Amino acid sequence: MAAATPTSYTDKIVKTDEVAEFSPEIIDEMNMHVAKYPLERKRSALIPLLMLVQRERGWIDNPGVNFLARFLDLEVTDVWETATFYSMFNLRPVGRHHIQICKTLSCRIMGEPDITEHVCSRLGIHPGETTADGKFTVSMVECLGSCGTAPMMQIGFDYHEDLTIDKNDKRRDHQRTL
Amino acid sequence: MEIRAIGCEPLQLKRVHMKDGHTIKVYRDTGGYLSLKKALTMTPADIIEEVKASALRGRGGAGFPTGMKWSFVPKDSPKEKYVVCNADESEPGSFKDRYLMERDPHSMIEGMIIAAYALGSSTGYIYTRGEYKYLIDIMDVALAEAREAGMLGKNIFGSEFSCDIHTHTGAGAYICGEETALLSSLEGYRGHPRMKPPFPAIEGLYASPTIVNNCETFTSIPQIIEMGGIPWRDLGTEKSGGTKLWSISGHVKKPGVYELPMGYADMEKFIMEDCGGMLRDDKKLKAVIPGGSSVYIMNAGQILGKNVTLDYEGLVAAGSMLGTGGMMVMDETVDVMDTTKNLTEFYKHESCGWCTPCREGTDWLVKIFDRIASGGGRPEDAQLMLDICDNIEGKSFCPLGDAAAWPIQSAIKQVPDDFKKWLHAKTDIYASNV
């Protein structure tokens, strides 16, 4: 299923009435999305706005969800209903650099297992975990549409393709310094 | 990675190697938006007739004739109509739309505007998968350029016709490539598919008449208007018109995006010559998935020396399907049991959970594969998996279930030896089971 497994989010869905606040610039950006859809169809903007909440807050947290429910005139459960379906929404905090390694067929046969093992052993974590300093999270994801340049990974929103172990080392060393 | 046309002049790929080919300036300097101008002098019915004559079939995987799909939209409906571009591109093995959007976004936009005119729509949405954030940024710039140039907005080219198009992001769900699930997602809901009928052409987005087409389908439209439907069709075959983009990956020397005329002969030449042959010269071809992960796996014997033509009919005759044209090539180092396990894990992850056969079936299949991979395979597992596939195929709510069953059914049939050793079977697993 596209959604995360229950254990990864139910512990984070704590009942709080706290509502996140956003700057006027972000509110403008949100309104720009809402304006794309018919007036009575504001819910259409939910996924783009969840993306913005995640960009601003790092993950989809309860105050962010409460904000969207108010902003779009929805129930809090409506927002969770959508947020828990899509695999790009982080329902718990992730590291500053979210390394998403593609594990689907073309990447797998072109060397993904070696890349995964190398990345994880250098960071000292397993897939799904975050380093103690909060800098890196490694996730295994399904096809990202980069099969001709396999193996590949996405870090944040950036594609890194035609990976070799050497290239990985250089990138990791650079990111350690950030 | 290679991006080029073989056996035809580049049409879809006309601008991908041009400097600044993504800008409206280069697009218009090379004939862009002239098809729109021409289309606005035609009647909507004439445009639909040209598209029908072109034998263009939807490039998103199902291959449904585009002109026929358009003709289902009711002419007299008082409701707003919508044109939606499916840029979700989430089929494993397919990566062609990425390069169209990155390097020639205006072709797609022009195709969408022409479609909107033909269908009497004034609003379009481009649904792009969330991971393609950089492409959404490119499309937003292209749409702003088009608005500024008067190609979008009120009274396009001085006509009565007005139209605007917006980008929309998905957030990581394979199922949203299925058109009704895409529409649920576009409305802000979980990406669950909907019952058909009513088809989206009658009740789609916001229960209004809606056309959903793939990126490559839309980029073909300006070419069809420019050339005329019949000349465009004749680039390909009578039943599969025009040219088609193929994404090729895996164990070939030159993976990439190739534009081929429909009916290109043949598949062996394409893999062994055009794509540079096997990645490692001393390794033989073992299997190919020709149309993205949701089609039947072919073994080398079905391809080599068999003159398989690359079009819808040719691949069906050879025992598979064209799908999205996402061809994945595997050499003899690949264990097809592992390949099939990998794809089944994909379908389990991406099953939306809406209907029982698919949700439960894919989960049990992964459990069986896990047991096999940890050494606990049994000879009767082949039949067990085929039985489960039979309970999914044709019995799930949307085609994702079929897509999950087909790789397993075909792998057990076409590459039985790779299963035989894992299942500790002494006899032919397929012949003894089916």
Contact at CB, B255 and A148, closer than 8 angstroms:
yes
- B228: DSSP letter: -
Of the three residues A32, A51, A83, the one that is the final residue of a domain is A83
**B249, B331, B358: which to substitute to probe chain A, counting the most A Cβ within 10 Å?**
B249
Contact at CB, B171 and A87, closer than 8 angstroms:
yes
| The predicted structure's pLDDT at residue B325 | 95
User: Could you tell me if the ipTM is greater than 0.85?
Assistant: yes
Neighbours of B88 (CB within 10 A): 28
Return the residue of B nearest to A43 by Cα: B188
CATH of the domain at A36: 1.10.10
Nearest to A105 among B89, B129, B343 (CB): B343
Phi/psi at A147 (5° precision): -65, -30
Query: Considering only CB atoms, which chain A residues are within 8 Å of B249?
Result: 106, 110, 147-148, 150
| The predicted structure's pLDDT at residue A10 | 47
Residue B353 at interface with chain A, using a CB cutoff of 8 Å: yes
Minimum distance, in Å, between the CA of residue B356 and any CA atom of chain A:
12
**Structural domain that includes position A116:** 97-172
Minimum distance, in Å, between the CA of residue A77 and any CA atom of chain B:
12
- Is B259 a residue whose pLDDT tops 60? yes
Q: What percent of chain B has pLDDT over 70?
A: 99
DSSP state string for B48-108: HHHHHHTT-B-TTTT--BHHHHHHTS-TT--S--EEEEEE---STT--HHHHHHHH-HHHH
- Specify whether A15 is located in the same domain as A54: yes
Q: What percent of chain A has pLDDT over 90?
A: 83
pLDDT band at A4 (very low <50, low <70, confident <90, very high): very low
**Three-state secondary structure of A30-49:** HHHHHCCCCHHHHHHHHHHH
- Specify whether A107 is located in the same domain as A134: yes
Task: Note whether B195 and A51 are within 8 A (CB).
Answer: no
What tokens appear for B85 in the block?
């571009």
Task: Note whether B286 and B330 are within 8 A (CB).
Answer: yes
Nearest to B190 among A81, A103, A108 (CB): A81
Contact at CB, A105 and B342, closer than 8 angstroms:
yes
Nearest to A85 among B91, B129, B191 (CB): B191
Contact at CB, B293 and A82, closer than 8 angstroms:
no
Return the residue of B nearest to A162 by Cα: B1
- Give Cβ neighbours of residue A49 (< 8 Å, ≥ 6 apart): A30, A33, A34, A68, A71, A72
Nearest to B346 among A48, A104, A162 (CB): A104
Contact at CB, A110 and B247, closer than 8 angstroms:
no
Give the alpha-carbon dihedral of B367, B370, B376, B378, to 10 degrees.
60
Residue A128 lies in a domain: yes
- Is B430 a residue whose pLDDT tops 80? no
Contact at CB, B172 and A89, closer than 8 angstroms:
yes
What is the pLDDT of chain B when averaged over all its residues?
A: 96
- Is B432 a residue whose pLDDT tops 90? no
CATH of the domain at A155: 3.40.30.10
Contact at CB, A2 and B91, closer than 8 angstroms:
no
- Give Cβ neighbours of residue A28 (< 8 Å, ≥ 6 apart): none
What tokens appear for A88 in the block?
């790009």
CA quadruple B310, B229, B79, B128: dihedral sign: positive
Of B54, B17, B8, nearest in space to B35 by CA: B54
**How are strands ordered across the β-sheet holding B2-5?**
B2-5, B256-261, B243-250, B326-331, B285-289, B298-299
Contact at CB, A88 and B172, closer than 8 angstroms:
yes
- Specify whether A103 is located in the same domain as A76: no
Matching residue, tokens 């909107």: B116
| The predicted structure's pLDDT at residue B79 | 95
Residue B426 three-state SS: coil
Residues constituting chain B: 434
Return the residue of B nearest to A146 by Cα: B95
- Is B333 a residue whose pLDDT tops 50? yes
- Specify whether A71 is located in the same domain as A101: no
- Specify whether A32 is located in the same domain as A101: no
| Average pLDDT estimate for B365-393 | 96
| The predicted structure's pLDDT at residue A7 | 44
| Average pLDDT estimate for B180-199 | 97
Nearest to B92 among A82, A105, A148 (CB): A105
Residue A154 at interface with chain B, using a CB cutoff of 8 Å: yes
| The predicted structure's pLDDT at residue B381 | 95
Residue A26 lies in a domain: yes
- Specify whether A9 is located in the same domain as A77: yes
CA quadruple B198, B204, B208, B211: dihedral sign: negative
Residue A27 lies in a domain: yes
Structural domain count, chain A: 2
Residue B79 at interface with chain A, using a CB cutoff of 8 Å: no
Minimum distance, in Å, between the CA of residue B330 and any CA atom of chain A:
8
What is the pLDDT of chain A when averaged over all its residues?
A: 90
Q: Distance between alpha carbon B332 and the CA centroid of its chain, in Å?
A: 27
- Give Cβ neighbours of residue B30 (< 8 Å, ≥ 6 apart): B14, B15, B18
Of B182, B296, B202, B290, nearest in space to B244 by CA: B290
- Give Cβ neighbours of residue B76 (< 8 Å, ≥ 6 apart): none
Neighbours of B345 (CB within 10 A): 19
Strand partners, B285: B331
- Is B262 a residue whose pLDDT tops 90? yes
Residue A134 lies in a domain: yes
- Specify whether A117 is located in the same domain as A73: no
**d(Cα B100, Cα B16) in Å, to the nearest integer?**
7
Query: Considering only CB atoms, which chain B residues are within 8 Å of A3?
Result: 353
- Specify whether A102 is located in the same domain as A46: no
pLDDT in tens, B140-159: 999 999 999 999 999 999 99
| The predicted structure's pLDDT at residue A3 | 40
**d(Cα B174, Cα A144) in Å, to the nearest integer?**
10
- B144: DSSP letter: H
pLDDT band at A2 (very low <50, low <70, confident <90, very high): very low
**d(Cα B164, Cα B82) in Å, to the nearest integer?**
11
Residue A92 lies in a domain: no
- Is B126 a residue whose pLDDT tops 60? yes
Contact at CB, A41 and B91, closer than 8 angstroms:
no
What tokens appear for B298 in the block?
């072919």
- Specify whether A125 is located in the same domain as A164: yes
Residue A120 lies in a domain: yes
- Specify whether A77 is located in the same domain as A136: no
Task: Note whether B171 and B69 are within 8 A (CB).
Answer: no
pLDDT band at A165 (very low <50, low <70, confident <90, very high): confident
- Specify whether A79 is located in the same domain as A121: no
Listed range (A68-77, A162-171, B121-130) with the worst mean pLDDT = A162-171
Task: Note whether B323 and B245 are within 8 A (CB).
Answer: no
Query: Considering only CB atoms, which chain B residues are within 8 Å of A82?
Result: 188-190
Query: Considering only CB atoms, which chain B residues are within 8 Å of A87?
Result: 171-173, 349
- Is B383 a residue whose pLDDT tops 90? yes
Residue A129 lies in a domain: yes
Residue A73 at interface with chain B, using a CB cutoff of 8 Å: no
Query: Considering only CB atoms, which chain B residues are within 8 Å of A141?
Result: 172
- Specify whether A104 is located in the same domain as A166: yes
Matching residue, tokens 């022409």: B114
Of the three residues A59, A83, A107, the one that is the final residue of a domain is A83
Question: CB-hemisphere CA count at 13 Å for B106?
Answer: 29
pLDDT band at B101 (very low <50, low <70, confident <90, very high): very high
Residue A140 lies in a domain: yes
| The predicted structure's pLDDT at residue A167 | 77
- Is A8 a residue whose pLDDT tops 50? no
Residue B147 at interface with chain A, using a CB cutoff of 8 Å: no
Contact at CB, B188 and A47, closer than 8 angstroms:
yes
Contact at CB, B349 and A142, closer than 8 angstroms:
yes
- Is B98 a residue whose pLDDT tops 50? yes
The CA distances from residue A141 to A106, A158, A168, B390, in Å, are: 13, 14, 18, 28
What tokens appear for B73 in the block?
């939209």
Contact at CB, A85 and B190, closer than 8 angstroms:
yes
Of the three residues A28, A50, A83, the one that is the final residue of a domain is A83
Nearest to B92 among A3, A85, A143 (CB): A143
Residue B169 three-state SS: strand
Return the residue of A nearest to B256 by Cα: A148
| Average pLDDT estimate for A33-57 | 97
A11 or A59: which leads in pLDDT: A59
Contact at CB, A106 and B343, closer than 8 angstroms:
no
- Is B68 a residue whose pLDDT tops 50? yes
